[in-house]
A and B are shown apart, each in its own frame.
Chain A
Amino acid sequence: MKRFSGWTLASPATLLVVVFLVLPVVATIITTFGTAGGPLAPYLGFFGSGFRRTVLWRTVQVSFIVTAIAVIIGFITAFVISRSPGWLKSILIIAAVFPLLTGVVVRSFAWLIILGKNGILNSVLLSAGLIGEPLTMLYTQGAVIVAMVYLFVPLMILTLVGVLEGIPQDLIQASASLGAKPSATFTQVILPLAVPGLIVGAVLVFTGSFTSYATPQLLGGEQVMMMGTLMYQQAMVTFDWVAASTIAAVMVVITIAIVLAMTRIARRLNPMAV
């Protein structure tokens, strides 16, 4: 009797990805090597420009800081959630999922209200007498970092709650019954077992920050230009599509390099995989 083969079923989705993602993205990258000035001219232009190097360096820096903060906050919070009684755990997970499902524009907008010149934080600080005049908090690197941490902490929490819940209880009990102090159990049993999950979460946060657009656009503006906002500006404001494609290629290469390197490290560090 006639049955669908695996390929017949998988080919429409495969076609969609190849035609609308693989080919267009590869074409974008290829065009950066075929310009009039020589095969590497756009890249020499990119890395030769002090401004663009600054943007790249700032993006790396911001993404790194955001990742570090999100890892610390996410890990501690996920640890407490995984040890909470059932009803509380559900409430805390809901409170973490809700921001995650709320769009990036809404979540960045919230920080626009908080950090603005006449924003909530300034009026609180003013009325408390802590500052004499409103601080400029918007359009600074700090504003972008705070909003991005806000964006990515829920993702980190949810990734790590799953990981921490998956750690077999026997191991923790065995460690305790063999005389390990809770702190030793934490650093020598729980933490090593959570490392692969921490790395997965960190990769998600780093690549998400590195390629973000809406948050740096709203809270950083022209003053805190990042790779995403620079790429948009080159593509849609100055219409320099070669420069935009070059930034796109740099973003793709860095993102994929980080994902591959970190998944390899995560696999090697996983004590359960031995």
Chain B
Amino acid sequence: MTQKIHPALIGFTVVVFFFLVGPLIIVVGSALSDTTYLTFPPQGLSLRWFANIFEISAFRRTILTSLQIAFLSTFIALLLGIPAAYALNRYRIQLPGWLATLFVLPVLVPELVLGFSLLKNVAVQFNTPIFLTLVFGHSLLVLPYVVRVISASLASFDFSIEEAAISLGSPPLRTFFTILLPNVRSGVIAAFILAFITSINDVSISIFLTGPGISTLPIQLLAHMEQFFDPTVASVSVLLMALTVGVMAIVERTLGLTFLAK
């Protein structure tokens, strides 16, 4: 729908988008600078700060840790979240109303509080390995996204197809894999991606659960920034933005990006 909009509003919107995209362009520019300090516009073009990322062992290690945690926690959240979303939609009457609220608690409770509580009352209290605690913390963090996105795709699923399969003698698990899962495939992909990117970017939970022994990429970035003001952080940021672009391309293919504006 196109209607006349006041030119002042259009001008305002242009300024807003300049404000939204400008800082990220500045980060990309700074990453390409040949100088040993951060500057924009870049002075001399060079990719050496990208190479520098992999020369710093702390970055190599934390990139790997972040990827492992993101994959594992996303996998756990899907494994637990898909059946939960299915149950919430299929057995709505059987289940109590607060159950849906329980699954959004991880977004309601401040992440910092969750991170601190996991440190104090799980990791320290029961001496659980930090890596494992991080994985569970991140699984919790991303569970609401999985439940919400899968619920949204199940809302348009016709459960009578499933009934038909079952009444024709298909066992429950097989019905799940051959009937239900293919029908919510795009939802699963979207949930995977949102969960993955949320985990990769997390600061507030990880900040309490990382230490000298184990750390994640965003925490390592914060630590690096406190000591150095070189373009390494900018180049890591560019890598993360490249990941975001990839993710957006996949979401666009599977669901359309307008999905995110709901």
Contacts and interface: CB of A to CB of B under 8 A. Distances in A.
A259 interface: yes
Contacts of A81: 13
Contacts of A90: 257-258
Contacts of B139: 16, 20
Contacts of A114: 23, 26
What is the predominant secondary structure among interface residues of chain A facing chain B? helix
B244 A98 contact: yes
Interface string B119-139: 111100000000000001101
Interface string A1-24: 111111101101110111011111
A213 B116 CA distance: 12
Nearest to A74: B16
A264 to B, nearest CB: 15
Interface stretch (B44-52, B57-65, B153-161, B195-203): B195-203
Contacts of A84: 2
A76 B17 contact: no
Contacts, number: 263
Contacts of A85: 2
Interface of B is mostly: helix
Interface of B: 1-3, 5, 9-10, 12-13, 16-17, 19-21, 23-24, 26-27, 30, 37-40, 76, 79-81, 83-84, 86-88, 90-91, 94-95, 99, 102-103, 105-106, 108-114, 116-122, 136-137, 139-140, 143, 147, 166, 172, 197, 200-201, 203-204, 207-208, 218, 221-222, 225, 233-234, 237, 240-241, 244-245, 247-248, 257-258, 260-262
15 contacts: A13-B83, A13-B103, A73-B16, A84-B2, A92-B17, A98-B21, A102-B241, A102-B244, A106-B24, A158-B261, A213-B112, A213-B203, A228-B112, A235-B119, A252-B113
Interface of A: 1-7, 9-10, 12-14, 16-18, 20-25, 27-28, 73, 76-77, 79-81, 83-85, 90, 92-107, 109-114, 116, 118, 120, 150, 153-154, 158, 161-162, 165, 169, 207, 210-214, 217-218, 228, 231-232, 235-236, 241, 244-245, 248, 251-252, 255-256, 259
